Structure 1
Amino acid sequence: MISKSANERKNKTGIKEKSKIELIVLLLSILIFSLPFFKGLFFTREILITHIVSFTLSILYLANKTLKREKISFDNGVDYIGLFFIIVYLLPIVFGKWANLRDAIGITLRYVNCFIIYLMVKDYVRDEKCKDWVLNVLIASGVTTAGIGILGAAGYVQLQDVVLSNRMASTFQYPNTLAAFMMTLLFITLGKLYSTDKLWQKIVYAVSGFIMLFVFVFTYSRGAWLLLPIFVLLYMLALAKEKKVQTILYFIVALIPIILLLQPITKNLLEADGNKSQGLLYTFLAIGIFTGPYILIDKMFTRIKETQYKYIYISLTSLMLGVVGLLLLAFNATEPLTFDNYGLTENRTNQIQRVVHTVQPDEEYLLKLNLEAATENERQWPWRVRVMSIGATGEAQMIAEQLGEIEQASEIEIPFQTLAETKKLQIYLTNTYSDTKVTFNAVELINIADESIKNINLHYKYIPESFITRLNNINMQDNSSSARLTFYKDGFSMFKDHMVLGAGGGAWKGLYRQYQSEIYDSTEAHNYFIQTMVEVGSLGIILLFLMIGCIVVTGFKAVKEKDTRNISMTIAILSLLAHSVLDFNFSYLSILILLWVFLGMLPQIDLPHQIKREGFARKIHPLLLVAVVIPIIFFTGFLYIGNASAREAAAYFKSGHSQEGVVAFDRAVKADPFDATYRIDMAQILRNISQQNQNQQLLLEAEEHLKKAIQYAPYNDLILSQAALHYLNVGQFDEALPYADKVIEVAPAVANSYEIKTEIYNAVARYYLENNNKKQALETYSSILEVVNEIRIANNKTQNKKLILTDKTIDQLNVARYHVDEKDREIQDINKIFYFALDTDENGLTDNWKVYNYKDANIITEVADDGIKISNTGAGTGFIYSTNFELKPSTKYKMELKLNSTIDEDFAVIKVISRNGKTTQFAQKLDMGMAAKNAFAYEFETSEEIQSGDQYIRIDHLGNSEKSIDINRLILLESKP
């Protein structure tokens, strides 16, 4: 017989164990709740802190399991998928297949963190109360994130980038991921709403869902807008009959106030000059408009019997038709468009964009405008209209433009012709300058048969302009969509070269510059599946699809059992994964953890009996995991010290405390030796110190850091650039030049790659010249000119955008060509050299020169191997002009201009223009009487008030002549007394 005291001791022990469990669950809940609030855990510092916190929490969890003499069960598919994800991310590290070692380590730690959290959630949510608690914590986190977004937009919460370009971003600082987060938790909230009978809980969940839907709409995330209706439909198909009706009712009641108040909320809450307090009041009004009717409808719904459902369907159909009618009214209620900049002291751009799809290629059209314009400034136009042709792949080309004039009729006609590749038109109506005003009363597109093609909607009464702009661009040819398709194409190319193991965590960031088939700059793949393929190859993508298979099987089981909560979780997870096909949500650690929290809460799929018999269903002693996690905590702690020390060093250098900065950087490298950026910075610091102190040992240490940096990030063009510059600075040209070549190899579509190579090769060539090694110098200069072919090869790989070379690259190429062409002439005091045959993008115009046509002018350019031919088939003046360069004030210059053929008419003018001070610094008509062998020589002096750096060359063709100017080169030299 058990004594009374023994029972008391047993009860006390149980209470203590329960309190421990409750403490760990509370700490875990706090961690889950706070996930979105630290920039969504996108940046390294916040990620490392989260790792330390969650790993420490897991030690408490494992200690508690040990004290209870319980083991960790591995008995279902998701358990092993989570474990194998860690293993496949470790494999590229183990076998040295990484694109960037530090990133590979960082992403592996993320999956370790997610798996640890998954194990804790899975264990505790076996208790249904605990599962409800975690779901409520997630909903609270979602509502808080939405609330911060609303209050931040209203100015009551000071948060960086809470609103981006009139789009709500909240704590994520990125609207698309906020939209995915809101959409995911909306389904969780609906699941809780349908699982309770208590009115107050229904109100709380209903309002919570409305707030998240409200913020979702104002993220203006087009991908999420497209996905939500699809997953709502799937959700309704999966739910029981009465829940289907509730879902339809919920969205109808929720959308009505959002539609009604869309315009004033956008105008006041999201626009920079809006009345924020009024915008917040409109938000509360929307919540109120939703809440009242929802309570009434819910009460009515609870009293309706199943036999009366046909009346519900009739009512729902009427309501839905009413909502559709409301939307049609909103999208068709337009009025004249007014842009008013009167009374402003600074310019402000007002603009709308309209898309017209109903056009044919290579056909004439007329854009008819009815407008009223006014201006106080006679030098500035009050309005501008531009018509852009959009091709199949999204490339844009202007085909018509007209600027408003002061004395102009109210009826304007703009004729234009579409291009052979035109698929649609984008029409822009713009007003920019202060003290100008324009009202567009009507804009109509007419074809050659005088048939109206489109009446352009101007100002929408009830729909915000930002909303219209986002809707207009929902297609596969807009810049965002076409860019993503390019990312996916390039990602598959990376995958093919790293098919088995992948290239390690963060591989997209490390490799994309080497594989990119278009000009873009994105360190994110914008697709979780592509990212996984690149990082962990075939093994990883198989695991990902197995995980989705487990989710789908669980979903079908929930549908069969009519388990609303699990149906909601399944749809939530699938919607999150679907949106992650379009964006980089899982680059936010918070979203990746959210996924694994959901996986931990889903009913587990048992392993097949045969697999269990083979010993895969195991129970692991918690101390075994403790032995793994404790070293990880210390390792993560060192990584955090490295990150903190690097930030500290940067602050020291910024404030001029260099010595302290060196110490801090040294500490950063020791704490996190795998970060290549720390290594390369340390190498540069040590090299500078060694050159100042003539300390050879420090130079050797710098080189060691440099080699480690290249080893850890072998495809990083910035690190390779630093390596090339390092060896150039220490005079090791045989090392510097191959690294300069390597920069272009790993980043051929980056303009700066060519600047680095030409700069280093030019520096080496100058060294040879200064040391009287002219033969070696000329060979090096000839190597520089090979860069032109490398640039052309890179441009030929891109279909749309071409490389725009930096002015410095062009200067280096021109200097090299001058040396090769003029072997026997010394370069002295040359300020600027232009060789007009440089046309790497093969657009018929010298690189970084532009064309401008005055009225009735039509400049045509053609680039050949010996220069550029400039013609003008129009009657007015047109010209080509260079980018800005530097001329000093009050300085004498010589100009040498070489033509390829003679000019026997006065139709060409060469000018030197300054954008500040006196505009025209030099102007001269080209007269062959002043030329010697097609070469002109002029002298001029700059005015004293100009500021150096805003000058450019302009070559005019005056028109009214069938002749052309054929220019070989132009040189500016500073005259010496």
Structure 2
Amino acid sequence: MAGKQRKQKSKAADHGISGWEWLVLALFTFYLALWPFQFAFFNGAGLHSDSQMFFEEKTYYGIILGIPALLLVLIKVAGNTKWEKRHLIGCIALVWPLLYFIHSFHAESTYLNRIAFHNSILLYSFFVLGIVVSGLKQVLRKLIHLYYGVGSIVVLYSFAYLLGNRYRLDALSFNEGVRLTSIFTYANAYAAFLVTMLLIALYQLISPNKHWIRLAYAFMLVPIGVSLLLTLSRGAILMLPVIAVIVLLLVNIKKQLQILIYAALAFIPSFAIQSFLADKGLEVYNRIQTQLSENQPIKNISFFASESITGWLLIIGTALALTAVIYWLSQYMDKTEVGEKSHRHARFYIPILLVCMAIIGFVILRAGLLNSILPDQISDRFNNFSFNTHSVLERYTFYKDAITIWQENKWLGGGGGTWEALYDHVQSYPYMSSQPHSYIVELFLDTGIIGLVIIVGGVLYLIGNFIVRLSRGAIQGGADYLLFLLIPVSLLLHSVIDFEMSYMFFSIIVFFSIGVLAGQQREAIFHERRGGNLQRAKYGMVAVWGVMTIYLFIGGINSFAAHSNYNKSIGMMYAQQPFNQLNDKLEEGLTRVHGHPFLLRQLSQNYIAAFQQTGEQQYAVTARKYVDELLAAEPNSSMGIKARYQIAIAEGDLEEAVVAMDLAISTYPYEIGYYEQAITNRAKLWDAANSAEDSKAKLEQEQAISRIVAQYDEYKQKLADIPKAISYIRVFELSDQVKGIVEKIEQ
């Protein structure tokens, strides 16, 4: 009898987890296991960076996840017997990838828009998947646990970078102190991830979970808290009070108090151990920099070495101590009742108080009154914060330059990657940034006013609609969905001033979660009409999703094939294999992805090099063919102009070379190399005219050089007006040799 009861309980526990739902969990397990090894599917290196080919592969590992997501949606919806408002929202959201599809015919960067179009299908697929699974609370709870479990491994593993047990390029950076960037290699992105982990941990601690589950969440509070402090991310830390207020407004007074107490308990010990760990990280960072400067291999420290184990013991010991405190405290707090029914607006008191405390706390921090208490890195970071810091001024400049770009394509934008394609055409000083540092600005440039209204307006509507329904009690078990509100809101808030959404790991989470919120709109449609309308709508959407799945599959396969052929060609070149064979690989890649700029550039460089070595004209002709294709494929990229200049120099055609550099100077006014090449080559033409006693040609070159110098002086003067807080890596100063050429000609 007892055995039978146990079996019944077991069946009840597993009730609701169907085969389809296990497939959803399998997809997310694969996704969460994959992203730490793929740089969080970063999609943002761009045309200016040779690392784009490295990150393109990582991007497509993320994009192909849209294939199983769409298949799962297709299977589920095909079996639906009713059509609800949430399904209609999924249909309307097709406008999103459609915006990028339209730009496939004319974009500022065809290559980047192609990736953006594939990415939009991926995010749409997870958005619709969120809609479909929105009512499956068991699945959603398991997804939260799964996310947190993998995230905890990432957080703990990241300390191996800090303590020198493992090495990854840029996992530690330095800016007003050592900064932990982890697998994201960008401190603000890691901070955004840690905020999502903190939200989950705090919310799960106040939720009715089993004791061992709550203890697992409690244990990670210190590692998460101290990691957040070690990122030195001002944006994330300043955003915390905003997110905290949103969280508190959505729960009752008892849970408000619990959240604040647990958060305080997390950060007090985190502040206490931050300095010690920061010093350890600084030692590791300095050692790595020394080894890199001396071209030595990076040597990792043993986990059990004294300089490492002390850090690990401090982290684990502090985490265990806090876990014990929370275990004891939670037993008391769970039994404590807090009266709030007598006061209608009682739940607003604590959020209002928190806002006041945050403002006062910020003023105190800025005044330096807590310097003796806070870790040096933290106090210095906040003391230096103002609207006159380089990060604020740089972002302001990016946004101002973005407005200039937007004016070229106001309504529909310039397609995916518009900022990356055009920023160096209009930049206010010689910065390098493949990202506009704002998701809003990125959407604004890519999709114009229409796209911004549709996408941002749609997101705001879905979030707002969910909050209204939740406040009215219209969502059954609404508390189970709060994390799917808080996580995307926290990420989107931070992405307003940064580029977290360029990490597809984040964008998948955001739009899946918003899909879960949209899925709460369950009003039936077609309920008073003939069943034929339902069938037509259902199978129409299934057909569309099927086409999108096939397209994404073909696009993904072609991209991987092109990337593979590129890598094989580079490997063959280093192995000094036959010239024709390595070019065949590149040409084979072009049959998969037409107009791929990096393949075209490599082909043009190969044939230019062959022409320079052999002098055979057929190589020059072939090189020009690929240069022309590169210019046609990516007219806004400097790759084409550089290739055109290289072939002209190789053929000894200085006239064409100076024309190419004149175009380059007018298009990229802050690239000093173009000025120097233009002046140097025109000086050669001037010498030739002088030797031939051709006064007309000589005067023509003198006037051309004067125009180049005048433009250089104009842009040099603009730099004098740039705030001193802004620093830039690219030098904008003519070399002494070129200055000597100018002086000689002007005499």
Give the structure 2 partner of residue 541 of structure 1. Answer: 452
Give the structure 1 partner of residue 160 of structure 2. Answer: 151
Match of 1:279 among 311, 314, 321: 311
Give the structure 2 partner of residue 227 of structure 1. Answer: 239
Match of 1:106 among 115, 131, 148: 115
User: How far off its partner does 1:681 sit?
Assistant: 2.6
Whole-Å Cα distance in 2 between the matches of residues 47 and 731 of structure 1? Answer: 41
Find out whether 1:812 has 2:720 as its counterpart.
no
Give the structure 1 partner of residue 641 of structure 2. Answer: 720
User: How far off its partner does 1:222 sit?
Assistant: 0.7
Structure 1 unaligned residues grouped into runs of 5+: 1-14, 333-354, 358-453, 822-977
Whole-Å Cα distance in 1 between the matches of residues 92 and 377 of structure 2? Answer: 43
Give the structure 2 partner of residue 688 of structure 1. Answer: 609
Match of 1:664 among 585, 588, 592: 585
Work out whether residues 781 and 816 of structure 1, in 8 Å CA contact, stay in contact via their aligned partners in 2.
no
Counting aligned pairs with the same residue, the percent is 18
Find out whether 1:198 has 2:210 as its counterpart.
yes
- The change in CA–CA distance for 1:77 and 1:740 in structure 2 (over 3 A counts) is farther
Letter in 1 for 2:511: W
- The change in CA–CA distance for 1:727 and 1:121 in structure 2 (over 3 A counts) is same
Work out whether residues 62 and 626 of structure 1, in 8 Å CA contact, stay in contact via their aligned partners in 2.
no
Give the structure 2 partner of residue 946 of structure 1. Answer: none
Match of 1:551 among 445, 455, 463: 463
Whole-Å Cα distance in 2 between the matches of residues 759 and 644 of structure 1? Answer: 39
User: How far off its partner does 1:783 sit?
Assistant: 0.9
Letter in 2 for 1:146: V
Letter in 2 for 1:514: H
Alignment of 1:294-309 (within 5 A): 294-307=326-339
Letter in 2 for 1:212: I
Give the structure 1 partner of residue 38 of structure 2. Answer: 38
Whole-Å Cα distance in 2 between the matches of residues 691 and 603 of structure 1? Answer: 61
Work out whether residues 73 and 618 of structure 1, in 8 Å CA contact, stay in contact via their aligned partners in 2.
no
- The change in CA–CA distance for 1:578 and 1:753 in structure 2 (over 3 A counts) is farther
Whole-Å Cα distance in 1 between the matches of residues 82 and 335 of structure 2? Answer: 49
Match of 2:722 among 800, 813, 829: 800
Find out whether 1:637 has 2:648 as its counterpart.
no
Work out whether residues 78 and 605 of structure 1, in 8 Å CA contact, stay in contact via their aligned partners in 2.
no
Find out whether 1:513 has 2:424 as its counterpart.
yes
Give the TM-score, by structure 2 length. Answer: 0.81
Give the structure 2 partner of residue 255 of structure 1. Answer: 267
Between 1 and 2, higher relative CO (CA 8 Å, sep ≥ 6) is seen in 2
Runs of 4+ in structure 1 off by over 6 angstroms are 69-74, 607-617
Work out whether residues 131 and 601 of structure 1, in 8 Å CA contact, stay in contact via their aligned partners in 2.
no
More displaced 10-residue stretch of structure 1: 159-168 or 727-736: 727-736
Whole-Å Cα distance in 2 between the matches of residues 150 and 590 of structure 1? Answer: 21
Find out whether 1:23 has 2:23 as its counterpart.
yes
User: How far off its partner does 1:553 sit?
Assistant: 2.3
Work out whether residues 193 and 206 of structure 1, in 8 Å CA contact, stay in contact via their aligned partners in 2.
yes
Superposed CA deviations along residues 698-742 of structure 1, whole A, max 9, x for unmatched, are 433322221221222222234313323323433555543332122
- The change in CA–CA distance for 1:589 and 1:612 in structure 2 (over 3 A counts) is farther
Q: Secondary structure at the match of 1:786?
A: helix
Work out whether residues 485 and 514 of structure 2, in 8 Å CA contact, stay in contact via their aligned partners in 1.
no
Whole-Å Cα distance in 1 between the matches of residues 523 and 626 of structure 2? Answer: 52
- The change in CA–CA distance for 1:63 and 1:248 in structure 2 (over 3 A counts) is closer
Find out whether 1:139 has 2:148 as its counterpart.
yes
Whole-Å Cα distance in 2 between the matches of residues 610 and 64 of structure 1? Answer: 20
Higher helix share: 2
Whole-Å Cα distance in 2 between the matches of residues 69 and 301 of structure 1? Answer: 44
Give the structure 2 partner of residue 418 of structure 1. Answer: none
Match of 1:85 among 88, 96, 99: 96
Letter in 2 for 1:93: S
Alignment of 1:882-893 (within 5 A): none
Match of 1:753 among 654, 666, 674: 674
Whole-Å Cα distance in 2 between the matches of residues 26 and 690 of structure 1? Answer: 53
- The change in CA–CA distance for 1:144 and 1:630 in structure 2 (over 3 A counts) is same
Work out whether residues 70 and 129 of structure 2, in 8 Å CA contact, stay in contact via their aligned partners in 1.
no
Superposed CA deviations along residues 903-950 of structure 1, whole A, max 9, x for unmatched, are xxxxxxxxxxxxxxxxxxxxxxxxxxxxxxxxxxxxxxxxxxxxxxxx
Alignment of 1:607-618 (within 5 A): 618=537
Q: Secondary structure at the match of 1:277?
A: helix
- The change in CA–CA distance for 1:16 and 1:85 in structure 2 (over 3 A counts) is closer
Work out whether residues 222 and 318 of structure 2, in 8 Å CA contact, stay in contact via their aligned partners in 1.
no
- The change in CA–CA distance for 1:750 and 1:176 in structure 2 (over 3 A counts) is same
Find out whether 1:597 has 2:512 as its counterpart.
yes
Whole-Å Cα distance in 2 between the matches of residues 70 and 103 of structure 1? Answer: 40
User: How far off its partner does 1:70 sit?
Assistant: 7.7
Superposed CA deviations along residues 44-72 of structure 1, whole A, max 9, x for unmatched, are 111122323x1442465367459858899
Q: Secondary structure at the match of 1:115?
A: helix
Alignment of 1:291-440 (within 5 A): 291-307=323-339
Whole-Å Cα distance in 2 between the matches of residues 611 and 309 of structure 1? Answer: 42
- The change in CA–CA distance for 1:717 and 1:635 in structure 2 (over 3 A counts) is same
Whole-Å Cα distance in 2 between the matches of residues 753 and 77 of structure 1? Answer: 53
What's the RMSD between the two structures over aligned residues?
Answer: 3.7
Work out whether residues 33 and 141 of structure 1, in 8 Å CA contact, stay in contact via their aligned partners in 2.
yes
- The change in CA–CA distance for 1:74 and 1:556 in structure 2 (over 3 A counts) is closer
Letter in 1 for 2:738: Q
- The change in CA–CA distance for 1:63 and 1:118 in structure 2 (over 3 A counts) is closer
User: How far off its partner does 1:77 sit?
Assistant: 6.8
Work out whether residues 404 and 426 of structure 2, in 8 Å CA contact, stay in contact via their aligned partners in 1.
yes
Structure 2 unaligned residues grouped into runs of 5+: 1-14, 43-54, 288-305
Which has the larger Rg?
1
Give the structure 2 partner of residue 211 of structure 1. Answer: 223
- The change in CA–CA distance for 1:25 and 1:252 in structure 2 (over 3 A counts) is closer
Superposed CA deviations along residues 170-225 of structure 1, whole A, max 9, x for unmatched, are 11111100111111232233333333242222222233444333322221101101
Letter in 2 for 1:305: E
Work out whether residues 146 and 211 of structure 1, in 8 Å CA contact, stay in contact via their aligned partners in 2.
yes
Q: Secondary structure at the match of 2:94?
A: helix
User: How far off its partner does 1:28 sit?
Assistant: 3.3
Whole-Å Cα distance in 1 between the matches of residues 127 and 585 of structure 2? Answer: 37
Alignment of 1:952-971 (within 5 A): none
More displaced 10-residue stretch of structure 1: 686-695 or 738-747: 686-695
Q: Secondary structure at the match of 1:164?
A: strand
Work out whether residues 202 and 262 of structure 2, in 8 Å CA contact, stay in contact via their aligned partners in 1.
no
User: How far off its partner does 1:491 sit?
Assistant: 1.0
More displaced 10-residue stretch of structure 1: 760-769 or 674-683: 760-769
Work out whether residues 683 and 703 of structure 1, in 8 Å CA contact, stay in contact via their aligned partners in 2.
yes
Work out whether residues 176 and 224 of structure 1, in 8 Å CA contact, stay in contact via their aligned partners in 2.
yes
Whole-Å Cα distance in 2 between the matches of residues 134 and 528 of structure 1? Answer: 26
Whole-Å Cα distance in 2 between the matches of residues 723 and 520 of structure 1? Answer: 24
Whole-Å Cα distance in 1 between the matches of residues 250 and 620 of structure 2? Answer: 68
Work out whether residues 109 and 418 of structure 2, in 8 Å CA contact, stay in contact via their aligned partners in 1.
yes
Work out whether residues 751 and 805 of structure 1, in 8 Å CA contact, stay in contact via their aligned partners in 2.
yes
Give the structure 1 partner of residue 569 of structure 2. Answer: 649
Find out whether 1:264 has 2:276 as its counterpart.
yes
Give the structure 1 partner of residue 132 of structure 2. Answer: 123
Match of 1:574 among 489, 494, 497: 489
Higher strand share: 1
Give the structure 1 partner of residue 394 of structure 2. Answer: 483
User: How far off its partner does 1:257 sit?
Assistant: 0.9
Match of 1:699 among 598, 620, 634: 620
Work out whether residues 206 and 259 of structure 2, in 8 Å CA contact, stay in contact via their aligned partners in 1.
no
Whole-Å Cα distance in 1 between the matches of residues 620 and 451 of structure 2? Answer: 42
Q: Secondary structure at the match of 1:34?
A: helix
Letter in 1 for 2:378: F
Q: Secondary structure at the match of 1:233?
A: helix
Whole-Å Cα distance in 2 between the matches of residues 712 and 733 of structure 1? Answer: 25
